């Protein structure tokens, strides 16, 4: 596995464990606590310059998911992608 991808995978999996241990809540609440301005800016850019449907149909459901679940799935995908990439 590529070293950079391994680091990303491990960081995401560590973030999921940390989110469970701290009771972080949803991904949206974690993002809002960390940087409310960037959350609002992301919403504005997606709705004004791309399409409002992307925000309401894709991003909002993702933001409602538990933060640990999103981080764990992203870490697992990075790990799986790294293993598949190595086999090529």
- The pLDDT of 46-54, averaged and rounded, is 95
Asked whether residue 5 carries a pLDDT value surpassing 80, the answer given is no
Q: What is Dmax (Cα atoms) for the chain?
A: 41
Q: Where are the domains of the chain?
A: 1-25+66-88, 26-65
CB 70 within 8 A of CB 10: no
What is the pLDDT at residue 11? 84
Written as six digits, the tokens of 26 are 């949803």
For residues 60 and 3, what is the distance between their CA atoms, to the nearest angstrom?
A: 32
pLDDT at 44 over 80: yes
The number of beta carbons lying within 10 Å of the beta carbon of residue 38 is 11
CA distance to 1, 15, 33, 76, per residue, from 7 (Å):
10, 12, 25, 12
Instruction: Look at residue 1 and tell me whether its pLDDT is greater than 80.
Output: no
Contacts of 56 (CB under 8 A, 6+ apart): none
| Chain segment 8-17, per-residue pLDDT in tens | 888 888 888 8
Instruction: Look at residue 85 in the predicted model and tell me its pLDDT.
Output: 75
- Kindly report the pTM of this predicted structure: 0.77
Identify the residue whose tokens are 């940390």. Answer: 18
């Amino acid at each position: 596995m590529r070293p950079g991808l391994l680091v990303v995978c491990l960081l995401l999996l560590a973030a999921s464990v940390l989110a469970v241990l701290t009771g972080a809540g949803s991904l949206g609440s974690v993002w809002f606590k960390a940087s409310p301005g960037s959350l609002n800016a992301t919403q504005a850019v997606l709705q004004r310059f791309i399409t409002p449907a992307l925000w309401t149909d894709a991003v909002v459901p993702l933001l409602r998911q538990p933060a640990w679940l999103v981080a764990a799935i992203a870490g697992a995908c990075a790990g799986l992608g790294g293993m598949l990439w190595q086999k090529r």
